[in-house]
């Protein structure tokens, strides 16, 4: 960190520079992007000076700076950083910086903490700007109502990062149940491109990242800036460009009317807004991946391969059937057996039972013990499904405590999947849910919880006045997860929400995996996981091999396609293996063994999504950090307009090192059709320098649609000259 004169600070890490001007009003980011090199203090000051724009006619007579929390009182007429008031007063606070602290975290992140106040408005604000070693930027704010008697009504707090004029395109994401994370590309024009989420959960349609970049930016080309709001409740993410030419990416929590009134002395803490810059989307994603992997609690590279019972048996739970399934699972190499929905009282289908977290003795006369014992005898961990925030009106819990259900008033919100949402901010409801989860987890020494959340929050009123409660609910859920983890330090948790509707770095601060989608169709997964991986490294993305026929789409895929797709995530199986014949079991066993063999590479290496000119071919791979080996996959996601895939590059390798390239035997397909052959090198492999593989590429076999092949690349013994 270099401090220039007059409070300009230069933070550098991971190929990124952040130049921040402090003092006077709130901190302003002058440069966010490529590393500017080792600047001396006067050059750091000069960066800020050279970035001050000229005054022009039209707006106010001075230059309006874009603060990290954009300040309306200075003349910022775009979306303000702070919206709030005290019965109409103090709607545009003028913060003055009182102190700036430069810190370095234990993990090596550089941090600037700015303390600012507006004495007249009786508000104080702490803004933290951090640059992690990976080059990931994070912004946080805490707003305190200093007034001795009057509350402060907070309507919004947004944190902003600047983007230059050369960012002319936006990519954001939408989605739905069974098809999460669909990208949409637009021109970045003047005005506000606003993505709002009022679902009370992150949302299948959440824009996991909002990206702005140079024309046609792609995985490997262009310059791109992106933000993510680390929050599992309502949130807002926006890209804005003013008539004065200022580009902004911003985000924060979305507060419902009247939701947040700060009492005297009370503090609101914003969700973290993350910002990543990269030359290409891959580089941007590595900043997130490396940041997440550096966390002390990041799951180790030995992710147990799991079997989840949902698509195996759905609600048809039966001790004998599931014990047999556990046996077959162990035989094929499963390491964690997860019992999904349907084990608790009254839960024979999705119309009843949620909230009654007691094992249903009609189905499990001796509790889950016989199954859990068998699972453990066979050397597997035991996982269990819960949906802690939810209640079916047809449940003992709802009958006993109708007052614990979130809703706007006397009438309840419309049901979704026959369920309502419990008010976890109610201390009694919280204590009940915590008590039941804790009891079941303790009784069976559960290793893994699949934590589901299957509906949006509609008009979530709470308390005697039935005021908006999403903010409190989100914090209560975090508290619940945190408390359970304190009590059960070994417990792992998967964040599931009708599939991938709770994928954000707020929940991932306290969970170990996300379930990316309820669609296990391998073709759909190719798209869903490609974009989920922008934010998350593969080890955090639950990815399962389903049965040949995909329940979510009715498509059929061969095992290679299903397994070769799930291979690039946190692997699991979701299929009734009792009905798999010996050949299929052996093939699954081989895939699991292959995954285990390469897990270290897959879960610590760099993920490369490759720009191949033909959109019908997905090419991606993982390259070891030391570039000694890599695995790449080639997937035909549609029929191509070309007869052959053409040369396919394998990026990320050391240009000066020679590599052996060989098809992975389990996925070395050559289509048998009218004289199709593999390229000549395919049978015996080939040795080529990294420069050739990364820059020129190799020919691969032509593929029928929805088929894949894979190659393993290993440093050859002799060094290329
Ligand atoms: C939705 C989840 O995404 C599924 O995997 C499954 O757990 C069901 N809920 C169970 O109700």
DSSP string, 150-169: --EEEEEEEEEEEE-TT--E
Residues 290-340: tens digit of each pLDDT? 999 999 999 987 899 999 999 999 999 999 999 999 999 999 999 999 999
Q: Pick the catalytic residue from 518, 521, 576, 654.
A: 518
For the CA of 340, the nearest atom of ligand 1: 7
Q: Quickly state the pLDDT bin for 721 (edges 50, 70, 90).
A: very low
The tokens 């990124």 sit on which residue?
A: 16
Q: Is 684 a catalytic residue?
A: no
Q: What is the mean pLDDT of the chain?
A: 97
659 CA distance to ligand 1 centroid (A)?
43
Identify the pLDDT of residue 717: 80
Measured at the alpha carbon of residue 556, what is the angle toward residues 552 and 559, in degrees to the nearest 5?
Answer: 110
Q: Give the closest residue to 389 by CA, choosing from 282, 253, 495.
A: 495
199 CA distance to ligand 1 centroid (A)?
18
Residue 20 carries which DSSP code? E
Identify the pLDDT of residue 343: 98
- Range(s) of the chain covered by CATH 2.60.40.1180: 607-718
For the CA of 450, the nearest atom of ligand 1: 7
- What does the alpha-carbon distance between residue 31 and residue 20 come to, in Å, rounded to a whole number? 7
Instruction: Flag whether the pTM goes above 0.75.
Output: yes
* Architecture in CATH of 2-293: Distorted Sandwich (2.70)
| CATH for 307-599, options being 3.30.565.10, 3.40.50.1950, 3.20.20.70, 3.40.50.300 | 3.20.20.70
Q: What percent of the chain has pLDDT over 70?
A: 99
Residue 621 C-alpha from the chain's centroid? 20
Q: Is 452 a catalytic residue?
A: yes
Whether 455 shows a pLDDT value over 70: the answer reads yes
**Helix 582-604 with 319-332: angle, nearest 10 deg:** 60
Whether 565 shows a pLDDT value over 50: the answer reads yes
Residues 190-238: tens digit of each pLDDT? 999 999 999 999 999 999 999 999 999 999 999 999 999 999 999 999 9
- Asked if 315 and 582 touch (Cβ cutoff 8 Å), the reply is no
- Range(s) of the chain covered by CATH 2.70.98.60: 2-293
Helix, strand, or coil here: 563? helix
Residues 383-430: tens digit of each pLDDT? 999 999 999 999 999 999 999 999 999 899 999 999 999 999 999 999
Q: Which of 454, 521, 574 should be mutated for ligand 1, with most atoms under 8 A from CB? A: 454
- Range(s) of the chain covered by CATH 3.20.20.70: 307-599
Residue nearest ligand 1's atom 9 by CA: 498
Q: Which of 204, 314, 451, 518 should be mutated for ligand 1, with most atoms under 8 A from CB? A: 518
What backbone torsions phi and psi does residue 463 show, to the nearest 5 degrees?
Answer: 75, 180
Residues 589-626: tens digit of each pLDDT? 999 999 999 999 999 999 999 999 999 999 999 999 99
- What does the alpha-carbon distance between residue 651 and residue 665 come to, in Å, rounded to a whole number? 22
Q: Quickly state the pLDDT bin for 23 (edges 50, 70, 90).
A: confident
Lowest mean pLDDT among 2-16, 282-296, 480-494: 2-16
Residue 549 carries which DSSP code? B
Q: Which fold has domain 607-718?
A: Immunoglobulin-like (2.60.40)
Residues 435-450: tens digit of each pLDDT? 999 999 999 999 999 9
């Amino acid at each position: 960190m270099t401090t220039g004169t007059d409070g300009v600070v230069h933070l550098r890490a991971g190929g990124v520079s952040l130049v921040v001007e402090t003092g006077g009003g709130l901190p302003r980011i002058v440069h966010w992007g490529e590393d500017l090199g080792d600047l001396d203090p006067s050059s750091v000051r000069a960066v800020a000076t050279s970035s001050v724009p000229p005054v022009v006619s039209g707006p106010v007579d001075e230059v309006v700076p874009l603060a990290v929390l954009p300040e309306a009182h200075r003349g910022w007429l775009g979306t303000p950083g702070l919206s709030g008031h005290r019965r109409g007063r103090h709607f545009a606070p003028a913060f003055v910086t009182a102190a700036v602290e430069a810190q370095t975290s234990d993990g090596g992140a550089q941090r600037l903490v700015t303390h600012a106040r507006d004495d007249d408005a009786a508000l104080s604000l702490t803004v933290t700007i951090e640059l992690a070693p990976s080059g990931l930027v994070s912004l946080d704010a805490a707003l305190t109502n200093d007034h001795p008697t009057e509350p402060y009504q907070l309507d919004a707090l947004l944190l902003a990062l600047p983007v230059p004029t050369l960012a002319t395109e936006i990519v954001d994401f939408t989605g739905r149940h069974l098809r999460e994370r669909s990208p949409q590309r637009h021109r970045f024009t003047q005005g506000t491109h606003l993505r709002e989420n009022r679902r009370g959960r992150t949302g299948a349609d959440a824009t996991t990242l909002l990206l702005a970049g140079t024309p046609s930016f792609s995985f490997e080309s262009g310059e791109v800036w992106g933000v993510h709001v680390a929050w599992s409740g309502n949130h807002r993410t926006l890209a804005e460009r003013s008539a004065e030419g200022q580009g902004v990416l911003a985000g924060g929590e979305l507060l419902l009317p009247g939701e947040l009134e700060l009492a005297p002395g009370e503090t609101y803490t914003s969700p973290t807004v993350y910002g990543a810059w990269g030359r290409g989307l891959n580089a941007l994603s590595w900043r997130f991946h490396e940041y997440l992997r550096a966390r002390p609690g990041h799951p180790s590279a030995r992710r147990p391969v799991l079997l989840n019972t949902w698509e195996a048996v759905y609600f048809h739970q039966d001790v004998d059937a599931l014990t047999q399934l556990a046996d077959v699972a162990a035989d094929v190499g499963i390491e964690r057996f997860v019992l999904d929905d349907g084990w608790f009282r009254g839960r024979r289908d999705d119309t009843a039972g949620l909230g009654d977290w007691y094992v249903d003795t009609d189905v499990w006369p001796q509790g889950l013990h016989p199954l859990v014992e068998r699972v453990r005898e066979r050397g597997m961990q035991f996982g269990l499904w819960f949906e802690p925030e939810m209640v079916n009106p047809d449940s003992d819990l709802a009958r006993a405590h109708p007052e614990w259900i979130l809703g706007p008033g006397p009438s309840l919100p419309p049901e979704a999947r026959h369920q309502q949402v419990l008010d976890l901010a109610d201390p009694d409801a919280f204590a009940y849910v915590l008590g039941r989860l804790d009891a079941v987890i303790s009784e069976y020494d559960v290793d893994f919880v699949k934590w589901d959340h299957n509906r949006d929050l509609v008009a979530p009123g709470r308390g005697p006045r039935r005021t908006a409660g999403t903010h409190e609910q989100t914090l209560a859920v975090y508290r619940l997860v945190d408390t359970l983890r304190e009590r059960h330090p070994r417990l792992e948790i998967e964040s599931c929400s009708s599939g991938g509707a709770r994928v954000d770095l707020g929940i991932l601060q306290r969970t170990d995996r996300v379930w990316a989608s309820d669609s296990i169709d391998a073709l759909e997964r190719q798209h869903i996981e490609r974009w989920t991986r922008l934010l998350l490294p593969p080890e955090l993305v639950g990815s399962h091999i389903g049965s040949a026929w995909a329940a979510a789409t009715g498509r059929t895929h061969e095992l290679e396609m299903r397994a070769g797709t799930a291979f690039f995530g946190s692997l699991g199986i979701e299929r009734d293996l009792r009905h798999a014949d010996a050949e299929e079991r052996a093939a699954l066993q081989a895939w699991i063994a292959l995954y285990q063999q390469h897990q270290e590479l897959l879960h610590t290496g760099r993920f490369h999504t490759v720009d191949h000119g033909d959109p019908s071919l997905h090419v991606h791979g993982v390259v070891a950090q030391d570039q000694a080996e890599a695995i790449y996959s080639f997937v035909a996601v549609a029929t191509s307009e070309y007869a052959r895939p053409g040369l396919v590059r394998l990026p990320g390798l050391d240009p000066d090192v020679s590599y052996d390239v060989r098809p992975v035997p389990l996925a070395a397909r050559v289509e048998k059709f009218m004289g199709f052959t593999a390229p000549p090198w395919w049978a015996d492999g080939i040795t080529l320098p990294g420069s050739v593989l990364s820059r020129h590429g190799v020919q691969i076999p032509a593929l029928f649609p929805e088929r894949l092949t894979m190659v393993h690349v290993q440093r050859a013994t002799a060094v290329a000259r």
